[in-house]
Amino acid sequence: MQRRFRLTRSEDFKRVRRSGKSYAHPLVVLIALKNEESEKRVRVGVAAGRTIGTAVTRNRAKRLLREAMRTLIPNVASGSDLILIARPALVNASLEEIRQALLDLLKRARILHPAYES
C-alpha cells in the first residue's frame, strides 16, 4: 500500500478510534470514519496487538493486511479513514481469506462503491 494511503499520525488514529464505527470479523476488526477534511482520499491504518504473538508475527500480520487492502482501495468511497486491527486467527489465514474478510467488512460498513458491491 502506498504511503499516501496510510493513516500515520497518532491524533488521526485516536480520532478514528474515538468517533468511528467498528465492524468485527473473526480475522480483523474495521473501524471506519468519514473524513471531514478537504483531502478526499482513503487513508488506512493497520494495528496488531501483542495478543497476535511476537514482533515477527505482528509485523507479518500487518503486511498481510496492507497487501489485502491494497487491491481494494480503488473500490472504497473517497474521504474514508479506516483502521484495521488484526486478530489472532489472522496469522493462520491465507491472503485470499483476509481479502474476503475485508471485502465483507467494507460491504457491511457501506463504504464500497455501488458498482463493486454486487
Give pLDDT, residue 92: 94
Written as nine digits, the cell of 68 is 489485502
Give pLDDT, residue 30: 96
At 38, the pLDDT band (50, 70, 90 cuts) reads: very low
Find the mean pLDDT for residues 37-50.
Answer: 84
Each residue of 18-34: pLDDT tens digit?
A: 999 999 999 999 999 98
Give pLDDT, residue 114: 66
**Residue written as grid cell 474495521:** 30
**pLDDT of 40 higher than 60:** yes
Of residues 113 and 105, more confidently modeled: 105
- Nearest 5°: the CA angle 31, 33, 37 is 145
Q: Please state which of the ranges 40-54, 69-83, 103-117 shows the lowest mean pLDDT.
A: 103-117
Of residues 11 and 36, more confidently modeled: 11
Residue among 22, 19, 52, 51 nearest 36 (CA): 19
How far apart, in whole angstroms, are the C-alpha atoms of residue 16 and residue 36? 12
At 1, the pLDDT band (50, 70, 90 cuts) reads: low
